[in-house]
Amino acid sequence: MGTQTGLTICNLRARMVNVPMKRPVQTSAGEIRAALLVLIDLQTEEGITGRAYVRSYSTFALEPLKQLVENLGAALAGDALAPLEIDRKLQAMFRLLGPQGLTGIAASGIDMAAWDALARAHGLPLVELLGGVKKRIPAYGSLRSMHPESVSEEVRELAQMGFDTYKVKIGRGDVGADLEIIRVVRGLIGQEAKLAVDYNQSLS
C-alpha cells in the first residue's frame, strides 16, 4: 500500500475548545469538569482536509499545545502528504526532547490528521486503507464517579446502553475506600459482567 497521493500540505490550523462535561469525571488526581481540546485541520493544496483532535491534561498546557501544533504544522508546509515521512520528520525534530509530554501529544494529533487526510483522498475508511476490514470491537462503560453512593444510576444507564464490561476509577490513597467502591459496583453489575479498575497513574 502506498502512503503518497501526490498531495501537498499547505496549512495546518489549530483551535482551542473547552467543552464542559454534563457529569464530571473523578480520578485519583482530582475532578475533571471539562474536556480541554485542540482541534486540528491539516489542509492540502488540492483541497483535502484531514481532521483530528488532542486533549490537554490541564488548562495551563492548552495554549502551549495549540501553539506547538501550529509551529510543527508550519514546518510541514510544502511537504508531501505522506504520514510515515511526516512522522520521521517530527521524530527527528524531537530527538533531544523525546516523544513524551506536549511534544508527543502534538505529534500524535498531526499524525492522526495526516492519516485522515490520506483516507479521505482515497475515499476509503482508514481501516480499509490500512488493509483491514470494519468489524465490531469490544467496548466497556467507564464510571465517572469514585463514590459508592453515586454509581448506581451510572451503572443502570450503562447497562441500558448494552455494556457488559465496566471500569471504575480507584487510587484515592485509601485502600478500604477503593475496595468498597469495587464491592458496590460488583454488587450492581452481578458476577457475570466483567469489571476493570483504573488507578489513573496513582501507583508508585
- Domains in the chain: ranges and CATH: 9-129 (3.30.390.10), 141-198 (no CATH)
What pLDDT is attached to residue 202?
A: 84
Residues of the chain with pLDDT under 50: 1-3
What pLDDT is attached to residue 4?
A: 52
What pLDDT is attached to residue 1?
A: 41
What pLDDT is attached to residue 201?
A: 81
Number of Cα atoms under 13 Å in the Cβ half of residue 73: 28
Q: Phi/psi of residue 203, each to 5°?
A: -75, 145
Burial classification of residue 83, based on how many CB atoms lie within 10 Å of its CB (0-12 exposed, 13-18 middle, 19 or more buried): buried
| pTM: predicted TM-score of the whole model, two decimal places | 0.87
For residues 7-16, one letter each, b for 16 or more C-beta atoms within 10 angstroms of the residue's C-beta and e for the rest, the string is bebbebebee
What pLDDT is attached to residue 2?
A: 42
Quick one: cell of 166? 465496566
